[in-house]
Amino acid sequence: MHMDTHSADYRYGDLLAMTNHFRNEARNIILTGATGFLGSNFLFWKLRQPGKVYVLVRGESIAHARQRVYDALAVCAVGYNQPVPKADIDSKVDYILGDMTETLCAISKSDLEKLAAAGISEFWHCAASLKFEDRHKEEIYHHNINGTHNVMDLAHRIHCPTYLHISTAYTSGHMAGDIPETLHPLDISYNNFYESSKNAAEHEVVKYCDAQGIDYRILRPAIIMGPLASRRSGGTRFGVYGLTQEMYRLRDTLSQLKTPMRLIGDMAAVGNLVPVDQCVFDMLYLSNTGFGEHKVYHLSNSSDLNIKAMLEKIDVALGMKSLNFVSERDTPASAIEELFDKRTVFYGGYYRTIKRFARSLPAQTGVSWSDYGTYLTAFIKELDEEKSGETFTRTQVTAADGIELCVSTFGDSGKPALVLANAYGMPSDFMFPLAKRLADQFRVITWDSRWVPAITHEFDLAKCHSLTHASDLIAILDHFGIASAPVAGWSSGAQVSLRAMAEFPDRIQCGILLNGGVSIPASGDIKITEFEKNIRTLFPKIAANYRFAQKYCDLIYGAHATADDGEDRKMISAILTSTDPFLLYMTSVPFRTPEALFRYANMMNGLFNERGDAWTADVKQPVLVHVGGKDQVTHADVGRFLVEGLQNGKLSLDEDGDHFSHFYDEDVATMIKQFVAQHQPQAQVAQPSSLANP
């Protein structure tokens, strides 16, 4: 794998690079909490390395336990724009029925014998009760303290040499200032019983492991966010998400306040937000490098965003001005303030003290205000979708060469199908607004292109051409039993659509090309945008040498440029800034790690090196070519040339349209419906397709 030093790993937190770099490090481990947020994310990436993972999980049966774990991993997969690793789950996961609140976790004698003989080297205890109210004290104690004793007894019984205990950075309670990576006193004051139980459990870990000669590490995550890779929540409802959800639920009440609600906190308090993929990176890094000399590690980063500003941004994102952050209330709390205090008491520990968590591990990239805003926007959208029931349905489809594709559908399966061919490297979220507008007439189907954003697929340069993606489209039609369907391709997805129409004419009824980014070169008759000039200049360099991908990622994310880098920095900056700033969290996906950029550059370079007519001479179906007069990514001239090359092409020009009109403009959906209505035949029975040559 392309990775030179561990510090380079930490520069981008690239879990694919990490797991590939240590792919020969085979260890058998036990994991608790595999159905929880951090535990499932750890398992998702741990499965990319060799070795068995024995998951201790509650369940009525093995089948029930297996389904619980699979469901948790499916949620993880959505958070990373990845397929569920079915083959790895089947071959590497062994399910141990048990309950950590019982002696030796109540596992069977046969399972005890199996674990003792399995050569397990690490016991990862991620499970815990996240409840915090005093009325749940008994349950919290049973899980976080008794449960810790029970799993350590199990580790000792099966002769596991290393015990890894997941705690929380907030075992520090009301402590302020610099928080060291050491045990905290037990007699400090706390915000809730959860914090005190986790601190007590840490002391029990040290006492027990020292007495039994077990090597141990205590890992303390800060405020865990969803994956930085996607800025989605990843399914968690704790931390910032829990507070945002409470405000979302109370939105109607809060919006009626005559004066802002006073929330008591320290004006200078900061929150240390750590994405879950950074936590997992830390965990795997420690496992693969021998855990280091320290016994306690903070899984934190350098974000430290001001809590007052964080809360205000939640307020604004929900369309309100309901909060006033104060150091104290000058009059008694109102009824609504008392209600809000009770509903959000768990989060008081975040905004009532100033903490700076020491970190001995290499530095992680901090969460920026821009990242935070994107997280909030994505989460509120997620809550809206849950409330309305409107969201993509995810399915996995096996391509002709065995690759698992992440496919998203929206709409009634009884309606005619319409396929959206997304741009290379872009997440399916880009297609969701258009899919919603089309769903009154179609069952809309789209998919994430292999390699990027689905980076867990092994990259195959020999298949880096549009026929691979066109064949994936046909495999998707076959999976759903669809004889033929219209296709609408956006940006580089237009080339995929043209290739599918050319190679599989019986399967594609008609095509709509939206702001097509295709293989037609610039000429005296065809202008191209500065954006396209830049990627045609830079991407061949990046595609030819992985080190260039590292270099350009460094230029994007703040490394100091040399005198020779000036033009390159300008070009890479122009590529990113040519996109809609609101959509940058999606358009930047292929630029987030050197591996993603290397793949994306090869995909786009392969596209530009295909036939100069973009396969139009072989397309007989009716095709509508839509271009925007204000498109800064693909020039309208490219669309005009496409129409000239097509046997049955028609041009649609929106003088005010840009490259992202399909995301915002309802008229684009109307145009697609009208064109398809003119050219859609009756449904037929699907016939298997033979693959053409590249």
The pLDDT of residue 38: 96
**Following DSSP, what letter does each residue of 598-626 receive, concatenated?**
HHHHHHHHHHHTS-TTTTGGG--S-EEEE
pLDDT digits (tens, 9 = 90+) for 259-291: 888 888 788 888 899 999 999 999 999 999 999
* C-alpha separations of 127 from 11, 34, 48, 93, 694 in Å: 29, 8, 22, 17, 49
**pLDDT band at 304; cut points 50, 70, 90:** confident
* Distance between CA atoms of residues 516 and 669, nearest Å: 16
The pLDDT of residue 685: 37
> Quick one: how far is CA 232 from the chain centroid?
6
- Strand partners for 397: 405
Which domains, ranges and CATH numbers included, belong to the chain? Answer: 6-380 (3.40.50.720), 389-521+611-679 (3.40.50.1820), 530-608 (no CATH)
Q: Which of 454, 462, 398 is nearest to 424 (CA)?
A: 454
The pLDDT mean for the chain works out to: 89
Range name among 5-14, 124-133, 290-299 with the lowest pLDDT average? 5-14
Give counts: helices (H), strands (E), the chain.
27, 23
Report whether pLDDT(155) > 70: yes
Stated pTM of the model: 0.86
Task: Answer whether 315's CB lies under 8 Å from 322's CB.
Answer: yes
Question: How does strand 323-326 pair with strand 261-264?
Answer: parallel
- Strand partners for 274: 224
User: CB neighbours of 117 closer than 8 A, spacing ≥ 6?
Assistant: none
The single-letter DSSP state of residue 145 is I
The pLDDT of residue 686: 41
Number of alpha carbons in the 13 Å side-chain half-sphere of residue 150: 21
**CA angle 672–674–652, rounded 5-degree value:** 60
* Distance between CA atoms of residues 210 and 216, nearest Å: 9
**pLDDT band at 687; cut points 50, 70, 90:** very low
Long-range contacts of 432-435, Cβ-Cβ distance < 8 Å, separation of 24 or more: 432/392, 433/662, 433/663, 433/664, 434/488, 434/662, 434/663, 434/668, 434/669, 435/392, 435/408, 435/410, 435/411
The single-letter DSSP state of residue 212 is H
Q: Which of 487, 533, 395, 314 is nearest to 77 (CA)?
A: 395
pLDDT digits (tens, 9 = 90+) for 11-43: 778 888 888 888 887 899 999 999 999 999 999
Question: How does strand 28-32 pair with strand 120-125?
Answer: parallel
Mean pLDDT over 553-579 rounds to 65
Mean pLDDT over 223-231 rounds to 91
Strand (E) or helix (H) holding 55: strand 53-57
Q: Among all chains, which residue has been given the structure tokens 């005296």?
A: 524
Give the Cβ contact number of residue 291 at 10 Å: 18
Report whether pLDDT(401) > 80: yes
